[in-house]
Structure 1
Amino acid sequence: MKKLTILVLLCLVTITLKAQNDIDALLAAGVEDAERFTNDYLAPGTNGLMHSMNANWFNTADAKPLGGFEISVIVNASSVKNENKIFNLNTANYNNISFPDNSPSKTVSSVLGENDPAIFIEIEYEDPIFGNLTETIELPNGIGNSSANLLPTAFIQGALGLVKGIELKARFVPKIDTDDVSLSMYGAGVQFEVTKWLPADKLLPVAISGLVAYTHLNGEYDLTESSGIQGENQRIDNDTNTWLLQLIASTKLPVINFYGGLGYIKGKSESNLLGTYRVTNGGITAQPIIDPFSVSSEVSSLRGTLGTKLKLGFFRLNAEYHLSEFNAFSLGIHFGFR
């Protein structure tokens, strides 16, 4: 759970858990270089997370009637491809970073991957006494192959039927608030069934709906104990917002049904490294760096959905699979009344 929380917050957390000298050297190379590296390192994780957050918003196109409701526990996971575990570090894009063997570029680990063998870079920085100096540091690994093949999320979700084929939905994660981590996630959506507006609705074997849904994640990670850098109020703040537009079709059978659809995901994740940081070189403390940088990633992707639902009285169970930039699957357990 701790690694998942770190992945949700991401920006520099895995780096800060490595070693003080690595952080000092990376910031000493310049805020611009640290920001560029972090943005490339982080993006696959936040993009995959945004796809995972948007699974299982629906399990049928047949909207609930007035007063119908459903309470659900949902577990999602987006799958990570090998290409998501790496990125190309081109030294031409950096001011003070190079490889010891003078390679112009190398494929290195993202937050989802692992450098095997280890990869080192040379950092150039200006010491206030000794002038231009070089330090060799090891690039950080990600969360590694053991847990990075899937990016899971989980929600408690509710749905309520209104008039004329309109159904309201809401999902949330109970707030996590520990000594160094704060995390909350919520979303809301509306599904409208167009076949409910047709005169022959009850005779049609299928239902067709549209869905609009919004999901928000906010998290903060306190770096006071783990950064190893002198300073105050050091923390990472993440703000993620996504929208889902979905067209849905499903069968209308008593027990087992099948559904599918075509959707569009749009989202942005922003991570901010905040607080005051006093980088040290050889015992000399440089000028403090305040709120060093912000990084962001965006998704804009079509997705296809296939799923099935089993209904036994008040109990329902569904499973679905999404094809998109990050493929995802989901399971849901539901209790409801139509």
Structure 2
Amino acid sequence: MKYVIASAFLFFGFAGYSQSNVNEVLAAGLNDAEKFTDNYLAPVSEGAIFSLANGWYNTADSKPLGGFEISIIGNMTSFKGKEDKMTFVLNTADYENLKFQDGSASKVVSTALGDLEGIGVYVEGEVLGLPTRENFDLPTGLASEGINFIPTGFVQVSVGLVKGLEVKARFLPKIDTDDVNLGLYGIGVQQEITKWFPIDKILPVAISAVVGYTHLDATYDFTNSNIVDGSDQRLEVDMNVWNFQAVAATKLKIINFYGGIGYVSGKSVTDVLGTYNVRSGLFQQKPYVDPFSFTKKASGVAATLGTKLKLGFFRLNADYTFAEFNNLTVGVNFGFR
């Protein structure tokens, strides 16, 4: 359980870290801030969608009536080397007020997953007839702290019903601190097709269809800026993820192997909420309340290979998923068939 909670804090902690001066972009005006924040946070949302899609199965052999398994599952979704997710090109021609301090017209900058630091920008204009200019640095991301993965963790329970049907539920108990409020839940079903045919009694192989749905909601308070002050500044994230898989596995007594292929689809809605008062520059003294929201959708094919060790009521599994964001899943499982 400690691992699950630690993973949850880290999962949403990246948003707080990377957001430490995103709100300063509001000094460039609402339109510029919205465009930048959308580009900056979109890869994090996409990676989290692919991360939460994992961990729904560790075999294709559905449990019999009354069989159950309790699992503690951790995911590590890698973005190492994915430059297209760690950076984006900021072209000042697409922005109303934001300019680079070195005079560049466009430049590669960091997303919330990246590691580019010290990229200076400015906003200038006139306030009450007097020239004004505000300089600040664009935010960097997770990789600047040596982190190249997005972790998620949760508890999952599976129960066998009849004719190869198994139901699953996953959850993360609500975490509520001064800065972070986070929780998730999900439900899934697994139907073993080989239970319908005589092959179930002949060959040590099972084939199943798995469908899983996960919902995450989280809030992070990131009130921390020298340029923009205000109150109740926070992110609220609402994420829904579906995973559809065809799974095959061996049915041996101790060590088994499994694999699946299917489709992941998800949607993340991020609201930037609170009151923001720009203290200096072109837009000073102009309050913004609940300034904007953006939506990120992600989908794609995912293929998984894994193995499971069974020692009585204790089981340990690990698998690797190949997708837009590759993922390592490790599960510690306890149950009876």
Pairwise CA distance, 1:283: 11
Cα root mean square deviation, aligned: 2.3
Residue 103 of structure 1 aligns to which amino acid in structure 2? S
Q: How does 1:156-305 map to 2 (within 5 A)?
A: 156-224=155-223, 226-227=224-225, 229-281=228-280, 286-305=285-304
CA separation in 2, counterparts of 1:196 and 1:125? 72
Pairwise CA distance, 1:280: 2.0
Match of 1:121 in 2: 121
Cα deviation code 1:266-303 (max 9, x no counterpart)? 01111111122222226995232111011232211101
- For the residue of structure 1 that corresponds to 2:65, the secondary structure is coil
Change (3 A) 1:179 1:286: same
Residue 106 of structure 1 aligns to which amino acid in structure 2? K
- For the residue of structure 2 that corresponds to 1:49, the secondary structure is helix
Residues 175 and 182 in structure 2, CA contact (< 8 A), matched pair in contact too = yes
Pairwise CA distance, 1:144: 2.8
1:17 to 4, 9, 20: 20
Residues 109 and 115 in structure 1, CA contact (< 8 A), matched pair in contact too = yes
Structure 2 length normalisation: TM-score? 0.90
Pairwise CA distance, 1:335: 0.7
Change (3 A) 1:85 1:97: same
Pairwise CA distance, 1:47: 1.3
The answer to whether the aligner puts 1:8 opposite 2:15 as a matched pair is no
- For the residue of structure 1 that corresponds to 2:107, the secondary structure is strand
Query: Structure 2 unaligned runs (5+)?
Result: none
Change (3 A) 1:256 1:176: same
- For the residue of structure 1 that corresponds to 2:45, the secondary structure is helix
CA separation in 1, counterparts of 2:294 and 2:282? 30
The answer to whether the aligner puts 1:110 opposite 2:114 as a matched pair is no
- For the residue of structure 2 that corresponds to 1:40, the secondary structure is helix
The answer to whether the aligner puts 1:66 opposite 2:65 as a matched pair is yes
Cα deviation code 1:3-38 (max 9, x no counterpart)? 964753766x446534xxx845x2131111111111
- For the residue of structure 1 that corresponds to 2:142, the secondary structure is coil
Residues 58 and 308 in structure 2, CA contact (< 8 A), matched pair in contact too = yes
Cα deviation code 1:206-263 (max 9, x no counterpart)? 1110111011111112345x35544343322111111000110011111111110101
CA separation in 1, counterparts of 2:130 and 2:215? 46
Query: Structure 1 unaligned runs (5+)?
Result: none
CA separation in 1, counterparts of 2:102 and 2:86? 23
CA separation in 2, counterparts of 1:139 and 1:105? 14
Residue 48 of structure 1 aligns to which amino acid in structure 2? G
Residues 9 and 236 in structure 1, CA contact (< 8 A), matched pair in contact too = no
Change (3 A) 1:232 1:276: same
- For the residue of structure 2 that corresponds to 1:112, the secondary structure is coil
Residue 188 of structure 1 aligns to which amino acid in structure 2? I
Residues 208 and 248 in structure 1, CA contact (< 8 A), matched pair in contact too = yes
How many equivalent residue pairs?
330
CA separation in 2, counterparts of 1:16 and 1:242? 24
Pairwise CA distance, 1:113: 1.5
Pairwise CA distance, 1:181: 1.5
Between stretches 236-245 and 100-109, larger displacement belongs to 100-109
Pairwise CA distance, 1:85: 1.8
Change (3 A) 1:299 1:313: same
- For the residue of structure 2 that corresponds to 1:245, the secondary structure is strand
Matched-pair identity in %: 50
Pairwise CA distance, 1:133: 3.3
Cα deviation code 1:51-90 (max 9, x no counterpart)? 1212221000010010000001111101113312211112
Consecutive aligned runs of 4 or more in structure 1 exceeding 4 Å deviation: 1-4, 282-285
The answer to whether the aligner puts 1:93 opposite 2:97 as a matched pair is no
- For the residue of structure 1 that corresponds to 2:112, the secondary structure is coil
Cα deviation code 1:117-162 (max 9, x no counterpart)? x2111223553x2356332211111123444211111111110000
Change (3 A) 1:125 1:46: farther
